[in-house]
Chains A and B, each alone.
Chain A
């Protein structure tokens, strides 16, 4: 995976988010179809993030208070945090892909989808266990 910002770790990454075209102007403008495909991938991730945020808000508003104190709020906050992380990761990945395409480099890989899948699966399993325990009582 190529780091887009070898010399300016944080600030460079932020600049790149806002203007991958100018940071610094590198490589050639790729075929617009590739850029649009990258944009659609970003949008798909943003929808994932928005869905997590909506899930957190729905938890907070529609779940009854749970037997464990503040568990409802904790679930809601966890979902909101996850949604925010997904949104920020989406823009970072978009910028790095855009830069790789300009430079004709290999597209950046990412472990994030696997991590997100594991988190969602773990959450679902925990809830399934909780439902079973409740049913057994």
Chain B
């Protein structure tokens, strides 16, 4: 971890936080793929495609937020997350709503 001696960040907290964002992105990827899956059935209707498109858009937004956060964590001292955090939680909740639509299909 660069900069560790200068900041005294012996716990590598910036790096651990960056990896936590990445793990979370992987979980979000699994959810996005599961939400998009019904669109690839042979009898998929328009709603399935719309849900898949919305899920993919949410997924892109989640990955973009994580990417921006890793950028903020690279500065010295690392910037703690602010609006990225509620935005991420809202998008996760939105994925749950989309999941409800998938169940209803």
Contact = CB atoms under 8 A, between A and B. Distances in A.
Interface of A: 17-21, 32-33, 35-40, 42-44, 46-47, 49-51, 53-54, 56-58, 60-61, 73, 76-77, 80-81, 83-84, 87-88, 90-91, 94-95
B89 A57 contact: no
B44 interface: no
A61 B96 contact: no
Interface of B: 9, 11, 13-14, 16-17, 20-21, 23-24, 27-28, 30-31, 34-35, 37-38, 73, 77-83, 85-86, 88-90, 92-93, 95-97, 99-100, 102-104
Given A84-B93, A84-B96, A90-B89, A39 B81 contact: yes
Nearest to B82: A21
B20 A43 contact: yes
B45 to A, nearest CB: 15
20 contacts: A18-B86, A32-B13, A32-B77, A32-B78, A33-B13, A35-B80, A36-B73, A38-B80, A39-B80, A47-B23, A50-B27, A53-B92, A53-B96, A54-B31, A61-B38, A80-B99, A84-B92, A84-B97, A87-B89, A87-B92
